[in-house]
Amino acid sequence: MKQYHKLVRDQIPEIIKADGKICICETLSDKDYIYLLDQKLNEELAEYQESKSLEELADLLEVMQAVVKARGWTLEELEQVRADKAAKRGGFEKKILLKGVKEDC
């Protein structure tokens, strides 16, 4: 038996069963779920960094949305925080590289 200890998408057990295999799963506590979601964020980010694919970026977004919900926030709250920061500090459209800051002395 191949061993795993990873958070997977909701339909993965059904997909494994449809392939004629048996999977062993458990339902996580809220604490363990959030911990493994945070690990999954790192995993998905690393996969995106390696591939630069839209599919991996979509996976990262899916996990980010799950983290928002698991921590008791809403996607609307996330968007509001993002929009507020963009309004106050801007986005990244101008492609600005900060190379240094001198004290005015």
How far apart CA 77 and CA 65 sit, in angstroms, is 11
Question: What average pLDDT score do residues 59-78 get?
Answer: 98
pLDDT of residue 105: 73
How far apart CA 27 and CA 7 sit, in angstroms, is 10
pLDDT digits (tens, 9 = 90+) for 24-57: 999 999 999 999 999 999 999 999 999 999 999 9
How far apart CA 23 and CA 2 sit, in angstroms, is 10
pLDDT of residue 9: 96
- Answer whether residue 104 shows pLDDT above 90: no
DSSP state of 20: T
